[in-house]
Amino acid sequence: MQIVELGPGLRGSLRDLPRFLTLPAFGHGATAWLFAVTGPFLIFVNAAKQGNLSTAEMNSWIFALYFFGGVFTLILALYYRQPIPAAGTIAGGVLVGVALRHLTFSEAIGAYLLTGLFITLLGATGVVKKGMELLPTPIMLGMVAGVLLPFGVGIIASLEKTPVVSGTAFLAFLVVSLARPIARRFPAVLGAIVAGLLMATWAGQANWQGLSVRLAQPILFAPTFTLPAALELVVPLAVTVIAIQNAQGIGILTNEGYKPPINAITIASGIGSLFMGIFGSQSACIAGPMTGIIASPTTGKHEGRYAAAVVTGVLWILFGLFAPVATGVSEILPSALINLLAGLALVGVLVSCFSAAFSGKFKMGALFTFMITTSGITLLNIGAPFWGLVGGTLISALLEPEDFREMLRARKQRRRTGENPLSPI
């Protein structure tokens, strides 16, 4: 039995990469990077401050998050020729920030390493892939739609907060989108980035003075293994990685016509967690919203969208190497503009997720999954996306049993023929 799925390999992807490095690939790759080094970055900084970490410890944490996230992005994207971005779990950063109020940093690092081993084991045994194949795709996409909806709503909120800067970026997006011959070569979201950056600079809302160039000085931390830290962090961190972050990315990739290597993604998340953990960062995962940005149809040809992941990975590596300048970089553009750009990049993904989730079977399950996810509920230190999947699946099993029976029959047949069993029924 083959546990880790094989991909096309590095040689062919590297050979074809130059012809896929188009303006749309650069635009979407840069947008995913901008999203990751702004809002999520500030969440991580806030978590580090809650734990009273020193500047050196925080810089090592940021280095590990982005440097190893970039390295694993390049490996996965090039080997599997798919737009797969690896990163540190955002929900996990919030969880750790709370835990550091009463745990030492070394105890948290011990929990990081145990989590990495646990996730690797789950991937190596194929348990996660089998579980995913039992989960209806519309329910998974209902969760993804719930997670991504705030980014779409953020477009409107950004226009209210910074009407001139965000309005200029939005207008540029519309103009380029309407000029269809131009849009095929020059992505609308890249037009929004350029227009927003120029207007923010002209309006004095772009802080270029905060930049200073310094290389990161990563620290190898000694872990401390304690039962309280393991009980508080290991299972919740593993859940945020597998059932929240990775499930989002896998759902988006499947909906865009890819066959994501579930076992390999899980194993990479576990091994990545070990690398990140020893340098002070929480667990690795597949970045859900960033997957949506770079896997969007407007990124380019289906077989070449991995190039956008390569752009994002390289930028993340550079950001990690220059972690001490991270704060300055993240403050160049106003947060409202970043939210607008991320929302615009995700518009196409939102449309396809809503369409696939509510246009076929499992409508009731998808709806409850969406509603639970958007509620923001948190139980047992585990966020709403996980409970959305659990609640939506249970409700669908009760109210839509025939859909489940038909799905299981179809997926069994697809496994026999070598097709992607996760494709919508």
Tokens of 151: 């980014």
Say if residue 326's pLDDT is above 50: yes
378 in helix, strand or coil?
Answer: coil
Round to whole Å and give the CA distance between 44 and 90. 8
CA distances from 26 to 104, 286, 331, 345 (A): 41, 20, 21, 12
Say if residue 406's pLDDT is above 90: no
* Every domain of the chain and the residues it spans: 10-148+223-333+349-417
pLDDT one-digit tens code per residue, 138-191:
887 787 788 778 878 888 998 888 898 889 989 988 888 887 666 555 667 778
Average pLDDT over residues 276-305: 89
pLDDT of residue 106: 93
pLDDT one-digit tens code per residue, 83-115:
999 988 876 777 787 778 788 899 999 999 999
Nearest to 358 by CA among 161, 162, 180, 142: 142
Average pLDDT over residues 308-333: 80
209 pLDDT band, cuts 50/70/90, is low
pLDDT one-digit tens code per residue, 9-50:
888 899 999 999 998 899 889 888 877 776 577 667 767 776
Round to whole Å and give the CA distance between 187 and 175. 11
Please return the burial class of 325, using the count of CB atoms within 10 Å of its CB with bins 0-12, 13-18 and 19+. middle
Average pLDDT over residues 214-224: 89
Nearest to 187 by CA among 315, 294, 88, 265: 294
Round to whole Å and give the CA distance between 232 and 245. 19
**H helices present in 51-162, as ranges:** 55-80, 90-99, 105-124, 127-133, 137-161
3 pLDDT band, cuts 50/70/90, is low
Round to whole Å and give the CA distance between 305 and 254. 14
Average pLDDT over residues 275-288: 90
Considering Cα of 398, then 403, then 406, then 410, what sign does the dihedral take?
negative
Evaluate whether 320 touches 62 at the Cβ level (below 8 Å): yes
372 pLDDT band, cuts 50/70/90, is very high
pLDDT of residue 232: 77
